[in-house]
Amino acid sequence: MKIYLTLLSLLYALTSYTQVLTIHVPEHHFGIDENRSLIVSHISDLKNTPNYDEYQQINLVLNENEFYFNIIPTNLSFSDAYIITKRETSQEYLLYFTELPLVHVSSNETIVDEPKRLAYFTYADSNQVITSNIGIELRGVSSLENPKKTYDIEFWTDDFGGDSKDVKFGNLRLDDDWILDGLYNEPLRLRSYTANKLWLKMHSPFYQDGEPKAKSGVDIMYVEMFLNGAYNGLYNLSEQVDRKQLKLKKFDDDIRGELYKGVFWADGVLFNALEDFDNDSRIWSGHEYRYPKEDDITDWTNLYSFTDFAIHSSDVHFNREIWSNFDKDNFADYFIFLNLIRATDNTGKNIYIGKYDIDEPYFFIPWDLDGVFGTNWKGISDNTFDDILSNGFIDRVLSLNPNNISYDIAEKWFEYRAHILSNDSLLDSITEKYQYFTQNKIYDRESIVYPNYLFDQARFSFTTTWLVNRLEYLDGYFTTITSTEPVVSNITNLANPNPVRNRIYINQDSIRDNNYTIFNSFGQLIVQGNIDGDILYVDHLTTGIYFMRIDNQIFKFIKQ
């Protein structure tokens, strides 16, 4: 007599006479790495598995291959690894169960940087199985040297990419273009995931009401991947930054929506200097032209004009026009986000600049958020937490402070600190992922294939300690900004001249011999000391706006 029981996607066959339990795992819901004798099987929920003590033998059937457990487990769990033996060959394997979706990519061709090569793709989670032809190519520049690669994939209806098709994974968008991000240079495999999710919480496009499906960046999900039968580890399955994601207006004989990608360091992406452009090239001063498409038009005039305005316009013109040229809310959120996660590779090169429609302001879109939360783009720990990241455009905004933007940013920082940027919220999001990867043996599987990181408690503690220190520093930074606004008076009330070149002449006896502190327009402490005599030398200061605190008074001056 046989009794068949169903548990989620597994089919249990129980032979009551011999007390043998046979578990059939559906096709595509497992992967077998023969070289490493490693098996990973997707099961969404093992909480309701029966107690197995009563069975004399437990078999596992994966397609036509039958295995048996060397030691009968009490139950099955994501937090345990099991030794099983292939009945036909007596070879032992290490078996893990995972809640994460499984992705298989197989190709008879060598996967290269360009062009996309034909491959076969399967995806399996608790709710769906997707099988398709894809075009696949390597993605990145420096990451091409890593043993764990990142891939750009496009779903095809044929064998040569003549026609693409849209697919949907979980709650991600419906599209044909996707990224499989290898996370090799992320010590804990959680930084870019956390950063991308955080940006989506922090910021929405200013035109969201008219485009409810528009996103301010990419959404992602974790998967585990097999490549040509070999376990390739944990990946982020990621949406793309493109016109569709941002819902930019389509090209209609004239340029409407625009999108440019920062691809290498240059004066243009950093807003340091203006270079001539060539409309025969899709590259200009560190930017890559992404939309409109090459078949439609290539015309750098609009971005060139904005860059020229950001660098060379008069102070009066800049202050009057900046927030009609660039979205003020986006500037504030991106400045906070950039400095919170300390994305040192994202002040120019790893920024998209977009425009929704003609006569609308530009805005920033972050991408490639791996070197963050206390590491650089190589994955090397960087314990610097007491600085402010910027570029030429950001510098000018904060220096001239149009419409009191510095104060608005500081107020927004403390609003966020009350909820999505609170210590508890940020630390919980990191801790939850670390504990999940630890308890569910995902770090164990990563270590088998990629022993470049230990994924240990020390690395986790470094990350959380760095974050706490960073938050404390930024609290002080933004507190300084709010404490220096509004300005009590110009420095001409107590000294001259203003603007200043090399020295300030003190004209009030009452303030001589007092302590002073000088802050720049970012709120950073530049110098402090004692006013000795009637001259204060400031020739070491760079050009810009400064605030000097004497006792409880704040005075503003301009250094030429």
> Of 98, 123, 152, which residue is a domain's last?
98
pLDDT tens by residue, 168-221: 999 999 999 999 999 999 999 999 999 999 999 999 999 999 999 999 999 999
- Greater confidence (526 vs 301) lies with 301
The dihedral over CA atoms of 326, 328, 329, 335, expressed in degrees to the nearest 10, equals 90
pLDDT tens by residue, 515-552: 788 877 656 678 888 877 778 888 888 877 777 777 66
Same domain, 287 and 387: yes
Q: Quick one: how many helices (H) and strands (E) in the chain?
A: 11, 31
Query: What is the rounded average pLDDT of the residues 346-364?
Result: 96
Does some domain include residue 464? yes
Same domain, 167 and 55: no
Beta strands at 81-86 and 92-98: parallel, antiparallel or unpaired? antiparallel
Q: Which two tokens stand for residue 22?
A: 């046979």
Same domain, 516 and 464: no
Beta strands at 92-98 and 38-42: parallel, antiparallel or unpaired? parallel
The residues with which 155 forms a beta bridge, in sequence order, are 134
Same domain, 370 and 283: yes
pLDDT at res. 18: 62
Contact 151, 143 (CB under 8 A): no
pLDDT at res. 443: 97
Same domain, 93 and 116: no
Does residue 155 register a pLDDT over 90? yes
Same domain, 427 and 524: no
* HEC assignment per residue over 439-479: HCCHHHHHHHHCCCCCCCHHHHHHHHHHHHHHHHHHHHHHH
Does residue 29 register a pLDDT over 90? yes
Does some domain include residue 192? no
Same domain, 338 and 418: yes
Share of the chain above pLDDT 90, in %: 74
Same domain, 94 and 112: no
pLDDT at res. 487: 44
Domain range for residue 229? 102-181+208-238
> Of 442, 457, 483, which residue is a domain's last?
483
Phi/psi of residue 446, nearest 5 degrees = -60, -40
pLDDT at res. 537: 85
Query: What is the rounded average pLDDT of the residues 236-245?
Result: 98
Does some domain include residue 199? no
Contact 377, 301 (CB under 8 A): no
pLDDT at res. 28: 96
Does residue 140 register a pLDDT over 90? no
* Mean predicted lDDT score pLDDT of the chain: 90
Same domain, 412 and 432: yes
The dihedral over CA atoms of 269, 274, 276, 282, expressed in degrees to the nearest 10, equals 10
Q: What is the CATH number of the domain that holds 295?
A: 1.10.1070
> Of 78, 98, 118, which residue is a domain's last?
98
Domain count, the chain: 4
Same domain, 108 and 94: no
Does some domain include residue 191? no
Does some domain include residue 187? no
Does some domain include residue 196? no
Instruction: Give the number of C-alpha atoms closer than 13 A to the C-alpha of residue 408, restricted to the C-beta side.
Output: 14
Same domain, 73 and 116: no
Does some domain include residue 201? no
pLDDT tens by residue, 374-409: 999 999 999 999 999 999 999 999 999 999 899 899
Does some domain include residue 200? no
Q: Which of 23, 24, 2 is nearest to 14 (CA)?
A: 2
Same domain, 131 and 116: yes
pTM, rounded to two decimals: 0.85
Residue 404 Rama label (left phi>0; alpha psi -120 to 50; beta): left
